[in-house]
A and B are shown apart, each in its own frame.
Chain A
Amino acid sequence: MDVNELKRKAFEIRSMTIREIGNFGSGHIGGSMSIIEMLTYLYYQEMRVDPKDPRKEDRDRFVCSKGHAGPAVYATLASKGYFPTEWLKTLNQGGTNLPSHCDMTKTPGVDFTGGSLGQGFSAAVGIALGQRVKNIKANTFVVIGDGESQEGQIWEGAETAAQWKLGNLIAFTDLNKQQLDGYTNDIVSMENIDTRWLGFGWHVQRINGHDFNELRIAIDKAKTVTDRPSMIVMDTQKAHGFIPGEGISNNHSMAFDSKTAEEAIAALTAREGLN
């Protein structure tokens, strides 16, 4: 896909996510919106996956360790055909296959459960290690939040992945600079995040996480680094593309209805000049 096609696909997935949350009436909109471009690029351009055979052993794998971004993951998987888009209307409803936080036992295409922050990252380290032990030539991608990076488990995982030289592990930090209680800098700062990862022995790049060209260059570069795991720090905007949530402090989880969702999508359409 060229950049314009990727942008259109991201707009579609973003709109699906906004509608999905609006249909339920509330949800983790902020951290879902900030990783839409990364998800779009991974699933439409990068990862070797087959929605018809979601458990294929030699597939590339993706772990959403910031598991509260489930709504964005589900919209992406639905758009790829892992399950009917109708399922998006069941988000968080009793008996759903799409719970607020990603659950590998429920959702086709979800490669590992996330929700208790830090845990998906360690699992991704294990998955990348397993690919190596089994001699499977595939990559493991994982996204963590900047708030999530306050968890000690992230850094435990970081040191083992570096020790084991997991070149097939490509991680992203969604540096949206906000967390549930407000701005990360006001709570526990994640400044110097790049040098922290460098200090842990990772290959580190920093990009605009909403720019497909930068995503392409960074991921292609990360794949050439085989003696270290890679961290791609993405500068992002929390709630990016959900205009009512942009630039405000309490956008981690928001309550809004379908009417607001449609208005937000119309406003984004106008801003992006897509239609």
Chain B
Amino acid sequence: MRSTTELSNMRDAVMAAILDLGEEHKEVMMLDADLASCLGSNKFADVCPGRFFDCGIAEANMIGVAAGLSSMGMRPFVHTFGCFASRRDFDQFFLSVGYAHQVIHLIGSDPGVTAQLNGGTHMPFEDIALMRQVPGVTIIDPSDAYSCYELIKQAYALDKPSYTRAARKGITHRYDASTPIVLGKGIELADGKDVAIIATGEVMVTESMKALDLLKEQGINATVVDMHTIRPLDTEIIDKVSARCGKILVCENGRYPGGVGEAIAAHVVKTSPVKMDFVNVGERFGEVGKLPYLKGAFGFTAENIAKKAAGLVK
């Protein structure tokens, strides 16, 4: 347990969790694929000497090495950009980790538009969908520093493979140690009765909270849920806000097919269908730009979220 309030970038929250786990558990190792200085993975070598390895620019092999280490009883954290962590080494993660029942903790940094200046080649909108195809993998998309720190530690404690998507740069301090953060339990940030906004990740939760104020100006009271865990999905909170509002807008910094919106819709149609809408990247590929431009270009803004939410209410 440590305070995250002094941290100034999300990558520091990710590394704080991994470094603390490394100090607590001798099984914890860390691997990177020539992006150690981007996340700060190289600090692991100082804290846990002999347990950090830079695998070079060879992500598929890195996943296999991690799986082999897992079979030796080690518990490696493995980092690369989210695009490589999901798309490039999918078969290795699927078979050598998932199918082979191995435990590694994969960190995919810079999800969706947070890849910013690395552009469309590096912009993973489909990482959640890919990870959802691997049975048994915990998937988290934290919206702030403290929940990021807590959720990584809780995912480790499950001793199952996990995937964490987190931006490296920028930070939001939404929660502190007084907020109960529970893996698999969404957090209600507002409890209005007109429409439920379920958001995942820092970009979407932050914009959804701004949309809450815009909607209030229109006389619309929204519920906002920070759905920080995508698997296991908190169906209890979905049922609760669905019953309360009768309308759900799902906002994700990703793609609909296989994504969070589709997962929630699939649950809702089984239980009590309600009107839904979605904010996501649609059928587009990523592109280069700074975050404010990209948010605007893809409609990941409070204005667009408020417009879609209001559209559900009308």
Contact = CB atoms under 8 A, between A and B. Distances in A.
Interface stretch (A42-50, A158-166, A181-189, A196-204): A158-166
B237 interface: no
A130 interface: yes
A127 interface: yes
A129 B68 contact: yes
A122 interface: yes
A152 B29 CA distance: 25
Interface string B38-71: 0000000000001101011010110111111111
Contact of A112 (B29, B51, B68, B73): B68
Contacts of B99: 105, 113
B31 to A, nearest CB: 9
A133 B64 contact: no
A116 B95 contact: yes
B92 interface: yes
A160 B56 contact: yes
Interface string A42-70: 00000000000000010000000000000
Nearest to A57: B73
Interface string B71-95: 1111000000000000000011001
Interface in A99-127: 103-105, 111-113, 115-116, 118-127
B92 A126 contact: no
Given A126-B65, A163-B56, A112 B72 contact: no
A104 B64 contact: no
Contacts of A123: 64-65, 67-68, 71, 96, 100
A100 to B, nearest CB: 14
Contacts of A57: 73
B199 to A, nearest CB: 36
A230 interface: no
Interface in A122-142: 122-131, 133-134
B101 interface: yes
A123 B63 CA distance: 8
Nearest to A163: B56
Contacts of A104: 71, 100-101
A263 interface: no
Given A57-B73, A119-B96, A130 B68 contact: yes
A157 interface: yes
A153 interface: yes
B95 A130 contact: no
Contact of B61 (A116, A125, A127, A134): A125
Contacts of A191: none
A129 B91 CA distance: 22
Contact of B68 (A116, A122, A152, A164): A122
Chain A contact-residue range equals: 20 to 34
B96 A153 contact: no
B65 A160 contact: yes
Contacts of B56: 156, 159-160, 163
Contact of B101 (A105, A134, A152): A105
Contacts of B67: 112, 122-123, 126
Contacts of B100: 103-105, 112-113, 123
A133 B58 contact: no
A105 B95 CA distance: 12
Nearest to B95: A116
Interface string B99-111: 1110000000000
B64 A127 contact: no
Given A160-B61, A164-B53, A122 B29 contact: no
A134 B76 CA distance: 13
A217 to B, nearest CB: 28
A63 to B, nearest CB: 8
Contacts of B63: 122
Most chain A CB within 10 A, of B51, B60, B68, is at: B68
B133 to A, nearest CB: 15
Nearest to A151: B60
A152 B66 CA distance: 18
A124 B61 CA distance: 10
Contact of A133 (B29, B55, B61, B101): B29
Contact of B72 (A113, A134, A152): A134
A123 B95 CA distance: 11
Contacts of A156: 56, 58, 60-61
A133 B26 CA distance: 10
Most B C-beta atoms less than 10 A away, residue of A111, A118, A133, A152: A133
A160 B73 contact: no
Contact of A122 (B61, B70, B72): B61
Nearest to B91: A116
13 contacts: A104-B71, A112-B67, A120-B64, A123-B68, A123-B71, A125-B64, A125-B68, A127-B71, A129-B69, A130-B74, A134-B74, A153-B61, A160-B58
Given A122-B63, A129-B65, A134-B73, 16 more contacts: A104-B71, A112-B71, A118-B60, A119-B96, A122-B68, A125-B68, A126-B70, A126-B71, A128-B68, A129-B68, A130-B69, A130-B72, A153-B61, A156-B58, A157-B64, A160-B65
Interface of A: 57, 103-105, 111-113, 115-116, 118-131, 133-134, 152-153, 156-157, 159-160, 163-164
